[in-house]
A = this chain, B = another copy of it.
Amino acid sequence: MTLSITGYDAAGVWTQNLSKSEQLTGWEKPAGITWIQAENIDKPEEVNRMAEIFGIHPLTVEDILDHTHQRPKVEEFENYLFVTFKAVNFETDSGLSHISMIITGDMVLTFQDKGGNDFETIKRRIMNKAGRHRRMGADYLAYTIIDTVVDEYFISIDTFGSEIEVFEDRALTEKDETFIKDIQGVKRKLLKMRRAVWPLRESIFMLMRLESNLLNNDLDPFLKDLYDHVIQAAETVDTYRELIAGIMEINMTVVSNRLNQVMKVLTIISTIFIPLTFIVGVYGMNFTFMPELDYAPAYFIVWGVMFCIAIGMIIFFKRRKWI
C-alpha cells in the first residue's frame, strides 16, 4: 500500500508521500482541502488503522476491503459520505478495479485496490492556481475523481466501438470458432462493464437527491452532468450488446449459407455422375444377347447420350436456380 497526501487551499498546494499508515498516527490535518489517496490496498490492518484515525465505521472498512463482492453505492454516515464504484481497465485481469471514497467537509480519502496514476490530471488541475478546484470544496474534488473514472469508461467504450466495427467485417468472412470466441469475449467484457455502470447511475442519482450539508448547492449542475454521462455510457453499453447480437446473427447466417452452398455443389456433382455411372454399368453387363453391344457406333452413341443427359441436368439445375 502506498499513501499520498495532497493538501490545498486558495493560497497554495502541498503534497506528501507515506509508505505506511502508521506514519499517519498523530498526524494533524492542516487547513484547506486534503486528499489522502491509498493505492494497492491489500493489508486489512493498514485500512483498519486508517479507519481508527479518521473515525470510519467498521462496515465501511468491510466494503473498502471486499473488492469482489462490492457493488457501486452511496452511503451517508454521521460524519462522512461513502461512495464506492468501479474503474474499468480491460488490460488488467478482471477488468475492474475497486475505488472507495470517503468525503468529509474538508477531506477526501480514496482507497484503490490497484495502483495506476489515473488521477495525475486531477493533481495537475489542483496545481493550477486559477483552476476551479482552488475555489471550491472537497465535494468538487470528489466529483472530479468520479468524473475522471467515468471519462475512462468512454475510452473503453470507444475501444469496444472500434472492435465491433472490425467484427462487422470479420462476420462476413470468418467461419471458424475463433470468431465466436472473440466476440463472446467482448460480450463478456460488456457484461462486466454493465455491472459497473448501471449501479453507479443509481448512486449518482442518489447523490443528486441527497440532502447533505457535505454537498454544496453549486455542485448540482456538475452532478447532473455526471449523471448524464453515466446514463450515456450505460446506454451505449446496451446498444453495443444489441449490435453484437446482430453481428453474431449475420455471422451464423453467412457461415451456414456458405456451407450449404458447398454441400449443394458437391451433391450436384454426385447427382450428375450417378445416372451416368448407371448407364456405363448397363453396358458392362455380360449377357450373351445384348443387341447394342455389336452395333458398331453404339459406343459413341452412348457417349453422346451421356453428354446430353449431363448437359440436360446442368441446364435443369440452372433453370431452377439450384446452381
Contacts and interface: CB of A to CB of B under 8 A. Distances in A.
Interface of A: 57, 59, 62-63, 69-71, 73, 75, 77, 154, 172, 175-177, 180-181, 184, 187-188, 191, 195, 221-222, 224-225, 228-229, 231-232, 235, 239, 242-243, 246, 248-250, 252-255, 257, 259-260, 262-264, 266-271, 273-278, 280-290, 292-294, 296-299, 302, 320, 322
A243 B318 CA distance: 33
A231 to B, nearest CB: 6
B269 A280 contact: no
B254 A253 contact: no
Contact of A285 (B177, B268, B274, B280): B280
A299 B288 CA distance: 9
A289 B295 CA distance: 8
A69 to B, nearest CB: 5
A253 B180 contact: yes
B59 A225 contact: yes
Contacts of A221: 57, 59, 75, 77
A195 B180 CA distance: 27
Contacts of A154: 69
A235 B195 contact: yes
A98 B43 CA distance: 37
Contacts of A286: 283-286, 290, 293
**Nearest 6 A/B pairs, CB to CB:** A280-B281, A283-B285, A284-B284, A287-B299, A266-B271, A273-B274
A144 to B, nearest CB: 13
A243 to B, nearest CB: 7
Within the oligomer, what is the number of copies of this chain? Answer: 5
B268 A274 contact: no
A259 B258 CA distance: 12
A8 to B, nearest CB: 21
Nearest to A75: B224
Nearest to A284: B284
Contact of A277 (B188, B232, B278): B278
A30 to B, nearest CB: 30
Given A177-B253, A232-B70, A271-B266, A296 B288 contact: yes
Contact of A62 (B62, B225, B292): B225
Contacts of A264: 259, 262-263, 266
Given A250-B184, A287-B299, A290-B286, A59 B222 contact: yes
Nearest to A180: B253
A69 B268 contact: no
6 contacts: A63-B228, A195-B235, A277-B277, A280-B285, A285-B302, A288-B293
